[in-house]
């Protein structure tokens, strides 16, 4: 599933974050790349222990904890502390797949990367190119969203970022270990939850609403690790 989650951050939160990020010390993005992706990767990153990364990362994690669309789609168990990248002057990230397991820096914690997330910090008009392109069985999907919006996609998919030929593309990127490891099962639960929400808002007294909620939780119980 490739999903856009609109307005994860408010315009004020985006503006404050941009002030911090633009003033940060950026380094070569290959520092966090795996063996294969280091060959394809050409961008800049804020070091993961940089105060700006920590601070904006906290803002993102707090916003996600209250975002019902994100929670329903990702069913998060653990979220990797967000990292920040910037592409400019023709930089790009060639086709790659994200590492399956990530160690959370400074902790003994490991995260299995079920979902990849990109949160945009630049408006589309600020730069040319820079689309995130995700491959699945239906073909290529090219994504560029307003600042403050998030894109979620399976970390197992091949993906790339097209060259940025004007301006700069600033974004956060991170991974989610879901309570439901399988993308197909997770997508079914998301579809069912969306239908249940709609039933509750349009026909709240319909007996099927409670029955379908029961089915949702029983599937979750069957498929989830908590």
CB of 136 to Ni ion, least distance (A): 14
Measured at the CA of 54, the angle between CA 142 and CA 57, to 5 degrees, comes to 35
Q: Which residues contact 15 (CB under 8 A, 6 or more apart)?
A: none
Closest approach, Cβ 130 to Ni ion, in A, equals: 14
* Closer residue to Ni ion, CB minimum distance, 110 or 198: 110
Residues 56-95 that bind Ni ion (CB under 5 A): none
The size of the interface with Ni ion (CB under 5 A), counted in residues, is 1
Closer residue to Ni ion in complex, CB, 50/96: 96
**183 is an interface residue for Ni ion by CB under 5 A:** no
4-23: contacts with Ni ion (CB under 5 A): none
Output the smallest distance, CB 115 to Ni ion, in A.
12
Minimal distance, residue 132 CB to Ni ion, in Å: 9
Distance CA 152, CA 13 (A): 20
Among 113, 167, 114, 121, which Cα is nearest to 144's?
121
Kindly tell me which of 98 and 193 has the beta carbon lying closer to Ni ion: 98
Name which of 125, 132, 39 is nearest 85 in CA terms. 132
113: number of Cβ within 10 Å: 21
Q: What is the 3-state secondary structure (H, E, C) of 88-148?
A: ECCCEEEEECCCCEEECCCCCCEEECCEEEEEECCCHHHCEECCEEEEECCEEEEECCCCC
Of 70 and 173, nearer to Ni ion (C-beta) is: 173
Backbone angles phi and psi of 88, in degrees to 5: -155, 170
Shortest separation between residue 139's beta carbon and Ni ion, angstroms:
18
List, as one string, the DSSP characters of 45-89.
E--TTSHHHHHHHHHHHHHHHT-HHHHHHH-EEEEPPPEEEEEET
Give the residue with the Cβ less far from Ni ion, 100 or 210.
100
CB of residue 159 to Ni ion, shortest distance in Å: 6
Q: Considering beta carbons, is residue 42 or 98 the nearer one to Ni ion?
A: 98
Nearest position to Ni ion, beta carbon: 98
Binding mask 96-115 for Ni ion (x = CB under 5 A): --x-----------------
Residues at the site binding Ni ion, with contacts judged by CB under 5 A = 98
């Amino acid at each position: 599933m490739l999903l856009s989650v609109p307005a994860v951050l408010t315009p004020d939160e985006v503006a404050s974050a941009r002030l911090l990020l633009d003033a940060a010390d950026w380094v070569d993005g290959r520092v966090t790349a795996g063996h294969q992706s280091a060959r394809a990767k050409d961008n800049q990153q804020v070091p993961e222990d940089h105060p700006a990364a920590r601070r904006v990362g906290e803002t993102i994690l707090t916003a996600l904890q209250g975002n019902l669309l994100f929670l329903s789609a990702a069913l998060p168990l653990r979220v990797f502390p967000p990292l920040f990248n910037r592409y400019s002057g023709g930089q790009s990230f060639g086709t790659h797949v994200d590492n399956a397991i990530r160690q959370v820096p400074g902790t003994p914690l490991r995260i299995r990367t079920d979902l990849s997330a990109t949160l945009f910090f630049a408006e589309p008009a600020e730069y040319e190119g820079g689309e995130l392109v995700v491959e699945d069985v239906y073909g290529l999907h090219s994504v560029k969203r307003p600042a403050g919006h998030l894109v979620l996609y399976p970390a197992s998919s091949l993906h790339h970022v097209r060259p940025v030929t004007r301006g700069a593309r600033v974004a956060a990127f991170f991974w989610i270990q879901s309570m439901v490891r399988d993308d197909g099962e997770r997508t079914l639960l998301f579809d069912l939850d969306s239908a249940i929400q709609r039933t509750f808002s349009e026909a709240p007294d319909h007996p099927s609403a409670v029955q379908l909620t029961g089915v949702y939780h029983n599937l979750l119980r069957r498929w989830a690790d908590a």
